Structure 1
Amino acid sequence: MKLSMVEQGKKLENVVEFSRYTRRIRSKIWRLLAVVIVTAVVAYPLIKLIPSKYVATSAVMIKALQDDTTPLPQLSRYDATRSDFYETQYAIVQSRVVIQKAITDLKLDQEPTFNGGFDASQITPDNAALRMEKTLKNVVNNLSVSGVRNTQLIDISFQSPSSEMAANVANGVARAYINYSVEQKHKATEDALHWNQQQMERVQQQMVDQKAAIDAFLKKENMLTFRGVDGYETEQLGIITNRLADATQRRIAAQSQYDEVQKALADHAPDEIISLPEFSGHAQIQDLRIALTQTRRSLAELRKRYGPKHDKILEAQAQVDTVNGQIGLVIGELARGARQQFQAAQDEENRYQTMLDAQKGNFQQLAGKRDQYNTMMTALNKTQELYQTLYQRAHE
């Protein structure tokens, strides 16, 4: 089957022809080899003249959020989602204070390779600042700090002709950064503790003043903290109310008895009154009833024997009249006693009512004092809560 012209063109386009290039290379191969050999011969001495450099790297892990060793919030809190935190740490590693501390710890300012050529005989206190500046510049120029992607690690690298020196400086800078971070946190903790202690002393003195003010207020207002600031008054009010209720009950009973006595005196004769329930239970009335019965019986028997003008009948009649007179006297005494009992119960009720009215007035006046006392106690409780928080924080 024959292919069309378009398909033949596509087939030719898919074929790359290298033969003409390979022929050109084979024709120039010796010339190219000569150039390579000459270049290698010339470059070898130059490469040998370049001093060897060693790079040592120390990795340090940084954590934006420290481990919570206590239930209390940490003094330093950072947002780990913000990239500027890690950038800040990179800058701190390369800061003057960290590098200078590493130089001091490693005594690099006494090394001629770092301090600008000052040997042991030339080191004096006068050139200490100059040596430190030159050493600081050399360390900074050969130091590099970078973060490891997607980790919390920092690579601290140092380049030096000596592998041992490169490792020492890299580790020294990492150690200086760690110590600096620890010192900063320790300083923050000490500052917080000092401030916390000052606040504790201030709050403690405030509690003492508030308690003294409450005691002075209670003494001034003559108040007792018995079951609360109004407990004593409430107890007194309850006692008086109960006594008033008892006095009212007694007054009602005495008044009822007095009214019955007065009604009986108005509606009945003395010999009938002694048969009423209000009087019949009295001991004297019972004796007089017996005496009246006996004298009446004697009078009736004598009347059967003698005439109405007989001396014995007159004598018996006199005895009956005497008993009736005694009954009248006793009834009068009972009536006066009922009246006095009623008046006494009424006076007692009025007295307790007066006491209750006065106690109510005192209790109403106590409301404002109670509010003031509660306000002072609330402030004291809040101060005590603040002191407990500071005390707990101081022992973190």
Structure 2
Amino acid sequence: MDNSPSLYVERPIQPHVPQHQPYSEEKDTIDLLKYWRVIWRAHWKIGGLIVLGCVLAMATLSFIPAQYTGSTTLLIKEKTPPLLTFQQVTDSSSGTVDYLQTQLALLQSRDLAERAVKKLSLTTHPVTDPRQQPKSWFAPRRWLAALELDQWLPVLGRFIPVQVRPSEADVFNQVTQDLMRRTHVKFVGKSQLIKIEVELPDPGLAAATANAIAQGFIDSQFDNNLRSSQTNTSWMNSRLIELRNNLRSAENKLQAYREAQGLVDVGGVGGVATISANELEMTGNRMIDARRNLAEAESRFRQVQTLSNGNLSKLSSVPAVLSNPLVQKFQAQQAKAQAKVEELSGRYGPKHPTLAAARAELRTATDSLRLQVRQVVASIEQDYQLARTSENSLRKSFNSNKAQIQDISRKEFQLREFQREVDSSRALYETFITRLKETTATADMDATKARIVDPAIVPLEPSKPRKSLIVAIVAIVAALIGVVLALLSETLNKTFKTDEAIESTLDVPLLSVVPLVTRKSRRQLARLFDDNDHPRFCETIRNLRTWLMLHSSDMPSHVVLVASTMADEGKSTIANNLAYSLAKLERVLLIDADMRRPSLSLNFDFPADGPGLANVLAGTARLEDCIRTVGNLDMLPAGKLSPPPLDLLSSPRLAPMLEALKSRYQRIIIDSPPAQMVSDALLLAKHSDAVIYVIKAQSTPVSQVQKCLAILQQSHAPVFGVVLNQVDLSKARKQGYSHSDTFQNYDYMSR
């Protein structure tokens, strides 16, 4: 009987049955914890990869020669105005930027590199001389040179290339180009400071070379400015002679024009131009007055001219005539005489002496008035003629003065043109003399536009290779590669590692998770439950037995088929130990139906040629002669195979045999061949009440399990559940895999 406590039977551990949940958006989210577990499972491998990468990086860096950087800082002054002050100066921010960029390019020029090579004799220095660089031990050319076999060189040159010794020019060119490649120039922020960096294996030589390039830049600027000053001075001397001749020529032209035109003081105060202008102004004013008088006289003349043949009363009524005092006086006398005649005519007769005297007085007054009017009219006509004559005379005088002034102005313009030429020539000549003296006096002052702010010092630490940074980068890259490989391995490893994987992939209940049992032989594994040598393994078998017995209360499961996808998944071990566990409570028969790879005879030392299932199905042996009893368990070995196993399992004797065995045994456990390799499992499943499918953890591909289960379900096989076998619990815990609470429940119930 079973010595296990009854607590296990009374409180069975329920199998894991996958629950179909409705679709949710959580399935589309990234499970970061899952990825972290994958990475944690591979943390030792990732750590080893990091250590290996760091060791290789440090080993590689040990063969790379160290490089030191000498750094010199220069201050570039702003661009100064041109040498000649009359040249146009445009100084803008964009011009300053272009100027600084130009200086930056000059610092990288070949001329400065050649100056530094010559100054420091880099063509003979052991660090920079290519002829003194270490060469490979295999140097046949040096052997030939040492042996002085010049006569063999043409012959051996066909097999060993002989290089001609480089000339001094070639060495100088190579050293200069190498120095240019090792020199780096850059701005310090957004300032006018420029840093010169030279990278060489020798720290002292790197600092000296950086300082030599900076000093060479300053010296080159000084030389260029000095040459420019000398060139400008020579040019200005030649220009001074030409300007002096031009000034003399302009002065001679001015004096000759004055003498030819007889000009003494044209344009001066009180000169000819000023007098002529005053006269012209006075004549103009008088001409204006004369024209106004002429207009008035002409108006009066036109008034009396139209009435020259009219009567006296009309002429005397003209305003120009009426304004005369004598005319007004005679008009008054005439009016008085006329009034007297009219008064006496009403009193006296026409021949009365008084009336006659009055009429004589009237005639006298009228004659006097007529005479005076004629004199006034003659005076008006005379005034008109005089005003006209005066206006003509003044107009002629004005035109004459104006022509004279215009002639003077033309002479003045020509004279001023000559004078301007003289003045401009004199000013340019004096400017050149002044600038020439300034240039000569200040030729060597502020000739350079740069100065060394921070000279290079000997570096104490190498700039390349940056070992710590490189090792850190290698470590990070190795870690990333390890993480990628771990994730890729996890993605490509399509096997069942946890019970959650079975629940999420297969639509079949998970009956039990069986731990891996190590250091046991095949025979020991077959008797593991009977020997009670592995408590955890025995507990999982009890769990499987309990679930099978509980299921039998609802649906009879007399015939239980134990199958797997491939061989070596432990199905025979599960079948043997499950039969042992049931044999402690029931009458059980264990049948070895794997006729191609029988295991029952090997595990329990049955005769290899003894009869078994194959013989019963072939009709060559009786059933009672084939059954073996080991303790409380009856076993039916595979027997001696003669026809093909598929033909035997298809025999009509299989069903009657199982029916006969059901009457004798409460439980029949059948160890089936692998479902993927042969079709024996499908034939046996049709005669079974329950199929227990065994899956080896981290071994059996998911796709193959799904395919085999799909075939069984399509054949209406009663798939009872799945057993996850050979789970390495210690490794799973280290790798972060989680399993069901089977073993936790076992520990709890054991306490």
* TM-score under structure 1 length normalisation: 0.52
CA distance in 2, matches of 1:33, 1:367: 106
1:161-172 matched pairs, under 5 angstroms: 161-172=201-212
Match of 2:61 in 1: 47
Asked if the contact 1:147–1:155 (Cα under 8 Å) also holds between the matched residues in 2, the reply is yes
Tell me the secondary structure at the aligned position of residue 177 of structure 1: helix
- Name the CA shift for 1:200/1:40 in 2 (closer, same or farther; >3 Å): same
Find the structure with the greater CA-based Rg. Answer: 2
| Displacement after TM superposition at 1:229 (Å) | 11
Q: Which moved more, 1:132-141 or 1:30-39?
A: 30-39
Tell me the secondary structure at the aligned position of residue 102 of structure 2: helix
Tell me the secondary structure at the aligned position of residue 185 of structure 2: strand
| Displacement after TM superposition at 1:50 (Å) | 0.9
CA distance in 2, matches of 1:15, 1:39: 30
Asked if the contact 1:229–1:370 (Cα under 8 Å) also holds between the matched residues in 2, the reply is no
How many residue pairs get aligned? The number is 263
Match of 1:210 in 2: 250
Asked if the contact 2:267–2:412 (Cα under 8 Å) also holds between the matched residues in 1, the reply is no
Which residue of the other structure, out of 87, 97, 109, is the alignment partner of 1:95? Answer: 109
- Name the CA shift for 1:11/1:69 in 2 (closer, same or farther; >3 Å): same
Asked if the contact 2:123–2:171 (Cα under 8 Å) also holds between the matched residues in 1, the reply is yes
1:314-333 matched pairs, under 5 angstroms: none
Tell me the secondary structure at the aligned position of residue 62 of structure 2: helix
Asked if the contact 2:266–2:412 (Cα under 8 Å) also holds between the matched residues in 1, the reply is no
Q: Percent identity?
A: 19
Tell me the secondary structure at the aligned position of residue 66 of structure 2: coil
| Displacement after TM superposition at 1:375 (Å) | 2.6
Asked if the contact 1:112–1:118 (Cα under 8 Å) also holds between the matched residues in 2, the reply is yes
Match of 1:292 in 2: none
**Where do 5+ consecutive residues of structure 2 fail to align?**
1-20, 134-165, 279-402, 440-751
Tell me the secondary structure at the aligned position of residue 56 of structure 1: strand
1:354-373 matched pairs, under 5 angstroms: 370-373=412-415
- Name the CA shift for 1:136/1:230 in 2 (closer, same or farther; >3 Å): farther
Q: Which amino acid aligns with 2:103?
A: Q
Match of 1:153 in 2: 193
CA distance in 2, matches of 1:80, 1:186: 27
CA distance in 2, matches of 1:208, 1:229: 28
- Residue by residue, what CA displacement relative to the aligned partner does 1:125-155 show, whole Å, maximum 9, x if unpaired? x944223201111101211223344333333
| Displacement after TM superposition at 1:160 (Å) | 0.6
Asked if the contact 2:183–2:199 (Cα under 8 Å) also holds between the matched residues in 1, the reply is yes
Q: Which amino acid aligns with 2:186?
A: S
CA distance in 2, matches of 1:367, 1:226: 9
Q: Which amino acid aligns with 1:387?
A: Y
Match of 1:381 in 2: 423
Which residue of the other structure, out of 116, 125, 129, is the alignment partner of 2:130? Answer: 116
- Name the CA shift for 1:118/1:166 in 2 (closer, same or farther; >3 Å): same
Whether 2:122 is the aligned partner of 1:80: answer no
- Residue by residue, what CA displacement relative to the aligned partner does 1:250-284 show, whole Å, maximum 9, x if unpaired? xxxxxxxxxxxxxxxxxxxxxxxxxxxxxxxxxxx
1:218-237 matched pairs, under 5 angstroms: 218-219=258-259, 224=264, 231=271
Match of 2:223 in 1: 183
CA distance in 2, matches of 1:158, 1:75: 39
Q: Which amino acid aligns with 2:422?
A: L
Match of 2:79 in 1: 66
1:243-262 matched pairs, under 5 angstroms: none
**Where do 5+ consecutive residues of structure 1 fail to align?**
120-125, 239-360
Tell me the secondary structure at the aligned position of residue 231 of structure 2: helix
Q: Which moved more, 1:165-174 or 1:185-194?
A: 185-194
Asked if the contact 1:102–1:172 (Cα under 8 Å) also holds between the matched residues in 2, the reply is yes
Match of 1:257 in 2: none
CA distance in 1, matches of 2:102, 2:84: 28
- Residue by residue, what CA displacement relative to the aligned partner does 1:266-310 show, whole Å, maximum 9, x if unpaired? xxxxxxxxxxxxxxxxxxxxxxxxxxxxxxxxxxxxxxxxxxxxx
- Name the CA shift for 1:385/1:99 in 2 (closer, same or farther; >3 Å): same
C-alpha RMSD of the superposition: 4.5
- Name the CA shift for 1:102/1:146 in 2 (closer, same or farther; >3 Å): same
* TM-score under structure 2 length normalisation: 0.30
- Name the CA shift for 1:69/1:142 in 2 (closer, same or farther; >3 Å): closer
| Displacement after TM superposition at 1:31 (Å) | 3.5
Q: Which moved more, 1:51-60 or 1:74-83?
A: 74-83
Whether 2:238 is the aligned partner of 1:198: answer yes
- Name the CA shift for 1:73/1:219 in 2 (closer, same or farther; >3 Å): closer
Which residue of the other structure, out of 142, 159, 166, is the alignment partner of 2:182? Answer: 142
Larger helix percent: 1
CA distance in 2, matches of 1:75, 1:99: 35
Tell me the secondary structure at the aligned position of residue 42 of structure 2: helix
Asked if the contact 1:223–1:229 (Cα under 8 Å) also holds between the matched residues in 2, the reply is no
| Displacement after TM superposition at 1:52 (Å) | 0.5
Asked if the contact 1:59–1:156 (Cα under 8 Å) also holds between the matched residues in 2, the reply is yes
Asked if the contact 2:267–2:274 (Cα under 8 Å) also holds between the matched residues in 1, the reply is no
Tell me the secondary structure at the aligned position of residue 110 of structure 1: coil
CA distance in 1, matches of 2:40, 2:132: 60
CA distance in 1, matches of 2:258, 2:240: 27
Match of 1:107 in 2: 121
CA distance in 1, matches of 2:82, 2:91: 16
CA distance in 2, matches of 1:55, 1:197: 49
- Name the CA shift for 1:221/1:73 in 2 (closer, same or farther; >3 Å): closer
| Displacement after TM superposition at 1:219 (Å) | 4.7
| Displacement after TM superposition at 1:366 (Å) | 6.5
CA distance in 1, matches of 2:245, 2:70: 58
| Displacement after TM superposition at 1:161 (Å) | 0.7
- Name the CA shift for 1:46/1:133 in 2 (closer, same or farther; >3 Å): same
| Displacement after TM superposition at 1:368 (Å) | 5.6
Match of 1:299 in 2: none
- Residue by residue, what CA displacement relative to the aligned partner does 1:85-118 show, whole Å, maximum 9, x if unpaired? 4443332221122221222233323324324226
Q: Which amino acid aligns with 1:376?
A: F
CA distance in 1, matches of 2:216, 2:90: 22
Larger strand percent: 2
- Name the CA shift for 1:198/1:173 in 2 (closer, same or farther; >3 Å): same
CA distance in 2, matches of 1:219, 1:131: 77
Asked if the contact 1:75–1:189 (Cα under 8 Å) also holds between the matched residues in 2, the reply is no
